[in-house]
Amino acid sequence: MARKTVRIAMNGVTGRMGYRQHLVRSILAIREQGGVALGDGDLLWPEPVLVGRRQHALKALAEQHGLEHWSTDLDAVLADPTIDIYFDAQVTSAREAAVRKAIAAGKHIYCEKPTATDLEGALELARLARAAGVKHGVVQDKIFLPGLLKLKRLIDGGFFGRILSIRGEFGYWVFEGDWQPAQRPSWNYRAEDGGGIVVDMFPHWEYVLHELFGPVRSVQAQVTTHIPRRWDERGEAYEATADDSAYGIFRLDGGAVAQINSSWAVRVNRDELVEFQVDGVEGSAVAGLRRCRVQHRAATPKPVWNPDLPTPEPFRDQWQEVPDNGEFDNGFKTQWELFLRHVALDAPWSWDLLAGARGVQLAELGLRSSAEGRRFEVPELTL
Ligand SMILES: NC(=O)c1ccc[n+]([C@@H]2O[C@H](COP(=O)([O-])OP(=O)(O)OC[C@H]3O[C@@H](n4cnc5c(N)ncnc54)[C@H](O)[C@@H]3O)[C@@H](O)[C@H]2O)c1
pTM over 0.85: yes
Alpha-carbon distance of 296 to 139, in angstroms, equals 33
Ligand 1 in reach of 52 Cβ (< 6 A): yes
Q: What is the mean pLDDT of residues 203-225?
A: 98
C-beta atoms surrounding 80 within 10 Å = 15
For residue 185, the ligand 1 atom closest to its alpha carbon is 19
Asked if residue 178 has pLDDT above 90, the reply is yes
Asked if residue 299 has pLDDT above 90, the reply is yes
Cβ(343)–Cβ(7) below 8 Å:
no
Helix (H) and strand (E) counts in the chain: 10, 18
| pLDDT on residue 273 | 98
Burial of residue 96 (CB within 10 Å: 0-12, 13-18, 19+) is buried
Alpha-carbon distance of 294 to 277, in angstroms, equals 9
Q: From ligand 1's centre to the CA of 195, what distance in Å?
A: 10
Q: From ligand 1's centre to the CA of 99, what distance in Å?
A: 14
Ligand 1 in reach of 94 Cβ (< 6 A): yes
Residues 6+ apart with CB under 8 A from 235: 177
Alpha-carbon distance of 292 to 288, in angstroms, equals 6
Compute the Cα dihedral for 316, 319, 320, 321 and give only its sign: negative
CB-based burial, 33-72: b 16+ in 10 Å, e otherwise: eebbebeeebbbbbbbbbbbeeeebbeebbeebebebbbe
Alpha-carbon distance of 57 to 39, in angstroms, equals 37
Ligand 1 in reach of 185 Cβ (< 6 A): yes
Mean pLDDT of the chain: 97
Alpha-carbon distance of 13 to 318, in angstroms, equals 44
Query: 11, 58, 91: which to mutate for ligand 1, most atoms within 8 A of CB?
Result: 91
pLDDT per position as a tens digit, 234-271: 999 999 999 999 999 999 999 999 999 999 999 999 99
Asked if residue 230 has pLDDT above 90, the reply is yes
pLDDT per position as a tens digit, 86-134: 999 999 999 999 999 999 999 999 999 999 999 999 999 999 999 999 9
What's CA 90's distance to the chain center, in Å? 14
| pLDDT on residue 40 | 85
Q: From ligand 1's centre to the CA of 184, what distance in Å?
A: 10
pLDDT per position as a tens digit, 324-368: 999 999 999 999 999 999 999 999 999 999 999 999 999 999 999
- Banded model confidence at residue 194, pLDDT cuts 50, 70, 90: very high
Closest CA to 104 of 93, 96, 112: 96
pLDDT per position as a tens digit, 16-62: 999 999 999 999 999 999 999 998 889 999 999 999 999 999 999 99
Q: From ligand 1's centre to the CA of 90, what distance in Å?
A: 4
- Banded model confidence at residue 1, pLDDT cuts 50, 70, 90: confident
Asked if residue 72 has pLDDT above 90, the reply is yes
For residue 94, the ligand 1 atom closest to its alpha carbon is 28
Q: What is the mean pLDDT of residues 59-75?
A: 97
Asked whether the bond before 114 is cis by omega within 30 degrees of 0, the reply is yes
Ligand 1 in reach of 57 Cβ (< 6 A): no
- In this structure, which residue's CA is closest to atom 30 in ligand 1? 91
- In this structure, which residue's CA is closest to atom 24 in ligand 1? 90
Query: CA-CA distances (angstroms) from residue 121 to 92, 179, 216, 219, 337?
Result: 12, 39, 21, 21, 27
Ligand 1 in reach of 89 Cβ (< 6 A): yes
% pLDDT > 90, the chain: 98
Cβ(239)–Cβ(227) below 8 Å:
no
| pLDDT on residue 312 | 85
| pLDDT on residue 248 | 98
